[in-house]
Amino acid sequence: MREVYGRRDFAIIGELVEPKSTVLDLGCGDGELLSWLKEHKEAEGRGVELTAARVQKAIARGASVYQGDLETALDDYPDQAFDYVILSQTLQETRYPLHVLKGMLRVGRRAIVAFPNFGHYTVRWSMLRSGSAPKTALFPYDWWDSPNIHFFTVLDFEELVRRENWKLERRIFLAGHRQVRLLANLTAEIAVFLVSGC
């Protein structure tokens, strides 16, 4: 889990996670969210993280983290093993996002997906003005070294949820340190979705 607004992320995700549930955090970094959920929500957590140094930190802080690639790691877990599967700020980096989302809803009853909104007005403006691939605070990379390989908006994600007949249970839109409600596809920097299978 990469932090966007620091510990504020935890509060948002904490809002979505019922106490005493089981949680799988994909791309869990150094396990900070898992520790936070254990401490504040008595959640039983597991994590998947690719980078060895982060895995080390996560295990050192007591989190049960598996070093591996999240796209293939999902395949090993049994059906409906978790109450929640969390994917924060990583969906746009996965090779097969739909496969990942389906996997999340197979191993978990609910999926919590947070992603940077490519529809944010700064992104649109950056591209319109410069004619180049957008570079903004949200998408700070040059195109040739960006980890982001899929670009999608709030609208795109909701369209996919409809197409797959998933149930959209909650959505939270964030801009800076506040929540936004109006014209989310234009104003939200980060979108957090709580989705369940059908």
Partner 1 sequence: MVTQEMVTASATTTFDKLELDSGVTLGPVDCAYETYGALNADRSNAILVLHAFSGDAHAAGEGGWWSNMIGPGKAFDTDQYFVICSNVLGGCRGTTGPGSINPETGCPWAMTFPSVTVSDMVRLQKLLIDYLGISRLLSVSGGSMGGMQALEWAAAYPDSVASAIPIATTARHSAQQIAFNEVGRQAIMADPDWRDGNYYGGKAPARGLAVARMVGHITYMSDASMREKFGRRLRTPDQFEVESYLAYRGYKFVDRFDANSYIYITRAMDTFDLTQRGSLPSLFERARTRFLVISFTSDWLYPSYQALEIVSALRSRNADVAYCNLEARYGHDSFLVEVNEQTELVRGFLTSTYRDLERAQPKKGGAAARA
* Region of 77-85, 98-106, 130-138, 141-149 interacting with partner 1 (CB under 8 A): 77-85
Binding flag, residue 197, partner 1 (CB under 8 A)? no
- Residue 82: name the closest of 134, 129, 35, 34 by CA: 34
Q: What angle do CA 194, 98, 177 make, to 5 degrees?
A: 40
Residue in the block written with tokens 């097969």: 96
Q: Could you give the CA distance from residue 138 to residue 190 in angstroms, rounded to a whole number?
A: 9
Answer yes or no whether residue 106 interacts with partner 1 by CB under 8 A: no
Report the nearest approach of partner 1 to the CB of residue 149 (Å).
25
Tell me whether residue 72 or residue 130 sits nearer to partner 1 (CB atom): 72
Q: Name 25's bridge partners.
A: 47, 86
Helix/strand/coil percentages in the chain, nearest 5: 40, 25, 35
Determine if 109 is a binding residue for partner 1 (CB under 8 A): no
Going by the DSSP 8-state scheme, the letter that residue 145 receives in this structure is: G
CB of 48 or CB of 184, closer to partner 1: 48
Residue 65 beta carbon to partner 1: minimum distance, rounded to whole angstroms: 5
Q: What pairing do the DSSP bridges indicate for beta strands 82-88 and 22-26?
A: parallel
Out of 14, 68, 146, 155, name the contact with partner 1 by CB under 8 A: 68
Task: Identify which of residues 30 and 189 has a Cβ nearer to partner 1 in the complex.
Answer: 30
**Which of 67, 146, 148, 187 is the binder for partner 1 (CB under 8 A)?**
67
Nearer CB in complex with partner 1: 67/122: 67
Closest CA to 22 of 90, 68, 84: 84
Please report, as residue ranges, which positions from 36 to 65 form the binding site for partner 1 (by CB under 8 A): 44, 46, 52, 55-56, 58-65
Contact in structure between 72 and 96 (CB atoms under 8 Å):
no
> Any idea what DSSP says for residue 3?
-
Residues contributing to the site for partner 1 (CB under 8 A): 44, 46, 52, 55-56, 58-68, 73, 76-78, 81
